[in-house]
Structure 1
């Protein structure tokens, strides 16, 4: 318990720093974080399922995240002959070329199931990098430059949902939510997480004026529903390969994928919702 608390404290400090130290640190931190999560995904797959192309997969993931991130900028990160958008298109073009290397490399390997290797390499990018790209884009949803309020609020509501679901489920949980993939989750805990996350959304509306209270609470409900689904999907994935944690980089907490599994499905949904709400 002490190790878990110490890890949680330093993890919180690092996360706060990623928001408060400017857009360069924010982008760089989530680029590195998404690549580490992708590495964990590939490491789990390699245990008994397939042999994904880890170096090319991570390179492709980094190019995809960087290109998508630069689409949010105008002249930031510009080279002398390229503005932000042109540099983004160049990186996305290089991403397409790097993906082709996944196929080419399998031609020169002796493998029983080459297309399984290719498929898991690409699935890892879709499962990890794309959601983190949407999460990064939340800081630019209002088209007025970098604003860390929405991505920070996203994580606060996600963690509030996890904590609320755990405490309510532990106290009054009786009815299993999806026992086949996550035996400890209950409907009571799920509902408790939704209520607490929505409540945190209301509190956030008192300090962050980007959205009104109804919209913040709606975001909280979306995060609870799709964050729980993301958690269940990752649990299904881990059970399919008989592992408990995605890694051990966070003592007492497991791997990075374990900490951000709720983000993987919730971030694209929340971004889509806010895009139409903010730009309506």
Structure 2
């Protein structure tokens, strides 16, 4: 019971802080998610370092990932800074990542390159793409971004409730034995229902586009969850960290986002 209370309180505070930062103003969203990007990168690099004895330069790798988030945010917000100048520092970071291994004299530079760049692609890039969702229609669209997270949370909630009640057919037993097809479709139902409700209040997407947005987030978020489960199974850990009492680490909490944000951006660009 005590663990349930801790988990519930943490979850409520988590939702309040995230929605508050997103809905308040663009700067509060940018500051919060720059911090989240940094913490999630720390967890990821710590995990791969312990498993594969990868050499990690936390200062440059965290700076690179956070800078990518900030650069995409500035570019998406319509800044007059040329994109070439804006992203040049990140390109320098990538050059440094490769060149540094020439002087590091480590036994496996390929593994170091691979894990360093995987952190940038798997963690920093998806968080950076959230800005493209927020500024999809030019001005900052707080509810466009908030709805993305609402879909993810309701998908998790629906999958848990329906899966616990009716789940019999395993969705991906090799990776996540507790997930069921019943839970997957339950989460999808919650997403589609919330998409319909949002379409009644916000008209920057048509009702059909809202349903497509919810469906896209639901499916890609499920794959994001499964991919993080595969990562943890490979490394043999239960949680990525303990920064969120009752919920594990940042990577555990944002695993769905890491695949859902690229999928959502693709959907919004080409469909909506």
Would you say the 8 A contact 1:131–1:263 is kept in 2?
Answer: yes
Distance across 1 between alignment mates of 2:252 and 2:235? 15
Pairing partner for 1:230 from 207, 224, 238: 224
Name whichever of 218-227 and 234-243 sits farther off. 218-227
Distance across 1 between alignment mates of 2:14 and 2:77? 28
**1:240 equivalent in structure 2:** 234
Distance across 2 between alignment mates of 1:151 and 1:259? 17
**2:75 equivalent in structure 1:** 71
Structure 1 stretches of at least 4 aligned residues deviating more than 6 Å after TM superposition? none
How big is each residue's C-alpha offset from its partner over 1:150-187, in whole Å with a ceiling of 9 and x where there is no partner? 11001001110011011111001011111111010011
**1:128 equivalent in structure 2:** 123
Aligned to 1:215, what secondary structure does the other structure show?
helix
Pairing partner for 1:204 from 195, 198, 201: 198
Name whichever of 116-125 and 48-57 sits farther off. 48-57
Is 1:118 the counterpart of 2:122? The answer is no
Would you say the 8 A contact 2:72–2:131 is kept in 1?
Answer: no
Distance across 1 between alignment mates of 2:200 and 2:156? 22
Distance across 2 between alignment mates of 1:195 and 1:10? 25
Is 1:61 the counterpart of 2:56? The answer is no
Q: Name whichever structure is richer in helix by fraction.
A: 2
Pairing partner for 2:175 from 177, 181, 194: 181
Shift of 1:260: 1.1
Superposition map of 1:214-229 within 5 A? 214-229=208-223
Shift of 1:203: 1.0
Count of aligned pairs? 268
Q: State the TM-score, normalized to the length of structure 2.
A: 0.94
Distance across 2 between alignment mates of 1:196 and 1:12? 17
**1:46 equivalent in structure 2:** 49
Gap regions ≥5 residues in structure 1: 76-82
Q: State the TM-score, normalized to the length of structure 1.
A: 0.92
Distance across 1 between alignment mates of 2:86 and 2:249? 29
Name whichever of 257-266 and 227-236 sits farther off. 257-266
Distance across 2 between alignment mates of 1:108 and 1:17? 46
Aligned to 1:216, what secondary structure does the other structure show?
helix
How big is each residue's C-alpha offset from its partner over 1:129-154, in whole Å with a ceiling of 9 and x where there is no partner? 111111121111112x1111111001
Aligned to 1:185, what secondary structure does the other structure show?
strand
RMSD value over aligned CA atoms?
1.4
Distance across 1 between alignment mates of 2:166 and 2:55? 43
Aligned to 2:254, what secondary structure does the other structure show?
helix
Distance across 1 between alignment mates of 2:137 and 2:23? 18
Gap regions ≥5 residues in structure 2: none
Name whichever of 209-218 and 181-190 sits farther off. 209-218
**1:156 equivalent in structure 2:** 150
Pairing partner for 2:103 from 95, 105, 108: 108
Aligned to 2:179, what secondary structure does the other structure show?
strand
